[in-house]
């Protein structure tokens, strides 16, 4: 036996009401280089640091070796 369209609409309304009360607002996580795109789409966002590649990490955090003078 198929449910009527009216019954389906009532069930959907009930589910939507339950979700509206209990659901937390969604937040999206973006990296610093994606801020402009998130703002353009109007998404709520939180910034998260991006993992650095090995080369980027070494460039940022490894001490520079002094060049040898002749």
Is 49 within the bounds of a domain?
Answer: yes
Residue 29 CB partners (closer than 8 Å, separation 6+):
45, 46, 47, 48
Average pLDDT over residues 4-33: 75
Q: Quote the number of domains for the chain.
A: 1
Is 21 within the bounds of a domain?
Answer: no
Residue 50 CB partners (closer than 8 Å, separation 6+):
31, 32, 33
Is 2 within the bounds of a domain?
Answer: no
Is 10 within the bounds of a domain?
Answer: no
Q: Which domain holds residue 34?
A: 26-63
Whether the per-residue pLDDT at 20 is higher than 70: the answer is: no
Is 51 within the bounds of a domain?
Answer: yes
Is 12 within the bounds of a domain?
Answer: no
Is 8 within the bounds of a domain?
Answer: no
Is 56 within the bounds of a domain?
Answer: yes
pLDDT tens digits, one per residue of 30-60: 677 777 887 888 877 777 777 888 888 888 8
């Amino acid at each position: 036996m198929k449910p009527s369209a009216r019954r389906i609409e009532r069930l959907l309304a009930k589910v939507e009401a339950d979700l509206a009360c209990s659901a937390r607002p969604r937040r999206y996580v973006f990296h610093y280089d994606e801020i402009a795109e998130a703002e353009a789409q109007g998404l709520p966002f939180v910034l998260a640091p991006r993992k650095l590649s090995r080369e980027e990490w070494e460039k940022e955090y490894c001490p520079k070796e002094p060049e040898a003078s002749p």
